[in-house]
Amino acid sequence: MSKNILIALLIGTCLILFIGFAYFFFMYFYTQIQIADAYTKNKIFEQMEEQVKEAMSVESAVQSMEYALFYYPESPYQIKGSQCDMITETLRRNSVRRMIATLQERFPESNKGNSPITWIEIYGYRGINNRTEELDEWKESEWYRKWYDDSGIWMIPKR
């Protein structure tokens, strides 16, 4: 082999390695950003759960749950359908479920079932301000039906 071919192969190999390492370097840090975003959202969900537990009125408790439910369903950092996105949405769903269970336990006379939208329509900020069109859009959205369908796909266990 000639010297020029060897140099070209060496440069090509180095270029491929550089591009590969740059890709993995970028993806590593992008994944760290996604994880940090999911962690931050989970902290918000936990904070809203605490507010529901400590709320003096059903309206303020439902407004905390409403905030968690509508808190950035999608993020510019999350790749839609990625594992991190699914984890975040699972954390949101479970948090809202716990909030509904807390609402049912703390305010049994105001019980509106397992649907967060039903609670929000009656006691939440969007319901109080007569933003029913917005709630109807959410109720019909695939995202809401997947996680919170009223058909009994998920039920809160009785305590």
Return the CA Rg of the chain. Answer: 23
**Could you give the CA distance from residue 55 to residue 121 in angstroms, rounded to a whole number?**
18
pTM, whole model, 2 decimals? 0.73
User: At 55, phi and psi to the nearest 5?
Assistant: -65, 145
Q: What pLDDT was estimated at residue 73?
A: 60
Q: pLDDT tens string for the chain (159 positions)?
A: 688 898 999 999 999 999 999 999 999 998 898 888 889 889 999 999 999 999 999 989 999 998 998 887 666 777 777 888 888 888 988 999 999 999 999 988 888 888 888 888 888 877 666 677 777 777 777 777 777 665 444 444 444
Helices (H), 55-81: 58-70
Q: What is the domain partition of the chain in residue ranges?
A: 32-148
- How many residues in total does the chain contain? 159
Q: Which residue has the tokens 């919170």?
A: 148
